[in-house]
């Protein structure tokens, strides 16, 4: 059985340019400041779908996305699922929470017996027009944790995101006060090469990003969330450090596979590879057909409407526009690389990378007390 409860919100999208010129510092303002709403005219980082309309609370129901041509409007931005497995292993309860300004799915995955849980890919609110950081999305996760009586054992990142700021450090600090100990922040072991690359690019001192993650997972490393068994799966392609987390009969795949009418994630970031992403999708689609693949983002086309957090392996093999069984490797590589050539730079690229290689910690203050991020100037060939 799958049970869900939801509340309403609205999605928006983002755009950008691929240049990487020299940076200029811009101040960051912390929680408590006023927040300007994101533009509804922007487009998705990974796709250029139309904005998502507001949606209502829905009554409990089983949900599955049918064939792409007949996808139904079923969603809102928060739900909880009690899943039944075809195997005798203990299955988790999955709470999904959609952050509409960045099109990001956040997850809280819980052991139904011990009430131990993990948070996956939490979002920190950031307004690039004012440089203000707020914590509405993160606070909603903390409220959900309290409402459900959960104890957080893990905060898990699938990769260093380039389209939103992570709330991992903020949430960890608050949970340390509530729980009496801080849950570790985990990510894949290849994060070090990503940190070094972008630390040098943005002129960040290594002592601000070294050893900021508490756990670096090896490929296929097993761990547990209460009594629920989990493992880390290396899924390179979008980024070289990218992980998925298999928890029971569920895989939280981050930015690798998107829903069937969206396809897959872009591969044109440093260290990204369409060929690696193809191999990662083969790894995911080799799992049993009933396994649920929970995506990191959703950018619903206008024909669908509301965002949806998961589809099954079987659904993707039959219907995914980029990786269904009828699409060969060469065809995928051609369409993925052609699509990437059309995409611009994520709207929050520079801010996201600088915060996220720090595991969500804020930059150290200057002597004047300001916390600064570096934003590259785009000169468009102008010289003087």
Distance from C-alpha of 76 to C-alpha of 10, rounded to nearest angstrom: 9
The pLDDT of residue 381 is 86
Tokens, residue 273: 């590879």
> Could you tell me the pTM of the whole model?
0.80
Return the number of other C-beta atoms located less than 10 Å from residue 112's C-beta: 16
From CA 308, how far away is CA 306, in angstroms rounded? 7
Segment (H or E) for 318? helix 313-319
- The domains located in the chain, with CATH, are 23-32+45-61+76-350 (3.60.15.10)
Q: What pLDDT does residue 383 have?
A: 86
What are the tokens at 80? 């909880």
Helix or strand or coil: residue 350?
Answer: helix
Question: β-pairing, 371-376 with 23-28?
Answer: antiparallel
Q: CB-based contacts of 279: which residues, under 8 Å, 6+ apart?
A: 236, 237
Closest CA to 307 of 15, 83, 81, 8: 8
Q: How far apart are CA 68 and CA 318, in angstroms?
A: 10
pLDDT of res. 287: 98
Per-residue model confidence as pLDDT tens for the chain (384 residues): 333 333 333 333 322 333 333 444 556 655 444 333 333 333 333 433 333 333 222 222 233 333 333 333 334 455 555 555 555 679 999 999 999 999 999 999 999 999 999 999 999 999 999 999 999 999 999 999 999 999 999 999 999 999 999 999 999 999 999 999 999 999 999 999 999 999 999 999 999 999 999 999 999 999 999 999 999 999 999 999 999 999 999 999 999 999 999 999 999 999 999 999 999 999 999 999 999 999 999 999 988 989 999 999 999 999 999 999 999 999 999 999 999 999 999 999 999 999 999 999 999 999 999 999 999 998 888 888
- CB burial of 136-168 (b: ≥16 within 10 Å; e: otherwise) equals ebbbbbbebbeeeebbbbbbbbbbbbbbbbbbb
In this prediction, residue 77 carries a pLDDT of 53
Decide: helix, strand or coil at residue 169. helix
CB hemisphere CA count around 321 (13 angstroms): 15
3-state secondary structure of 310: strand
HEC sequence for 102-135: CCEEEEEEECCCCCEEEEECCEEEEECCCCEEEC
Contact between 22 and 376 (Cβ < 8 Å)? yes
Distance CA 7, CA 76 (A): 6
Share in percent of the chain as helix, strand, coil (round to 5)? 20, 25, 55
**What separation, in Å, do the N-terminal and C-terminal C-alpha atoms of the chain show?**
66
Return the SS3 of 302.
Answer: coil
- In degrees and rounded to multiples of 5, residue 306 shows phi and psi of -85, 155
**pLDDT recorded at residue 88:** 62
């Amino acid at each position: 059985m799958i049970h869900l409860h939801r509340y309403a919100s609205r999605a928006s999208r983002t755009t950008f340019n691929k240049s990487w010129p020299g940076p200029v510092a811009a101040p960051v303002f912390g929680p408590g400041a006023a927040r300007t709403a994101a533009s509804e005219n922007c487009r998705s980082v990974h796709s250029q779908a139309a904005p998502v309309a507001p949606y209502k609370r829905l009554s409990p129901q089983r949900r599955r996305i049918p064939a792409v041509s007949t996808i139904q409007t079923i969603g809102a931005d928060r739900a909880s699922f009690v899943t039944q497995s075809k195997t005798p292993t203990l299955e988790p309860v999955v709470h999904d929470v959609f952050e509409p300004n960045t099109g990001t799915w956040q997850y809280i995955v819980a052991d139904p017996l011990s009430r131990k849980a993990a948070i996956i890919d939490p979002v920190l609110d950031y307004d690039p027009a004012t440089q203000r950081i707020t914590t509405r999305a993160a606070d909603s996760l903390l409220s959900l944790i309290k409402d459900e009586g959960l104890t957080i054992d893990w905060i898990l990142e699938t990769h260093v995101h380039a389209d939103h700021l992570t709330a991992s450090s903020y949430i960890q600090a608050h949970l340390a006060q509530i729980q009496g100990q801080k849950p570790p922040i985990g990510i894949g072991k290849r994060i070090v090469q990503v940190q070094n690359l972008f630390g040098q690019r943005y002129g960040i001192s290594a002592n601000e990003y070294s050893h900021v993650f508490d756990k670096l997972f090896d490929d296929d490393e097993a761990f547990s969330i209460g009594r629920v068994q989990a493992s880390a799966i290396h899924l390179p392609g979008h980024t070289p450090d990218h992980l998925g987390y298999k928890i029971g009969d569920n895989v939280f795949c981050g930015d690798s596979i998107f829903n069937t009418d969206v396809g897959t994630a872009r591969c044109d970031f440093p260290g990204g590879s369409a060929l690696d992403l193809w191999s990662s999708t083969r790894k995911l689609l080799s799992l049993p057909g009933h396994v649920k693949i929970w995506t990191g983002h959703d950018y619903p086309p206008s024909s669908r409407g509301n965002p949806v957090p998961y589809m099954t392996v079987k659904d993707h093999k039959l219907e995914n526009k980029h990786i269904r069984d009828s699409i060969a490797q060469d065809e995928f590589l051609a369409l993925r690389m052609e699509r990437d050539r059309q995409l611009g730079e994520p709207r929050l690229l520079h801010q996201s990378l600088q915060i996220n290689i720090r595991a969500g910690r804020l930059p150290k203050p200057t002597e004047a007390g300001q916390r600064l991020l570096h934003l590259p100037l785009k000169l468009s060939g102008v010289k003087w």
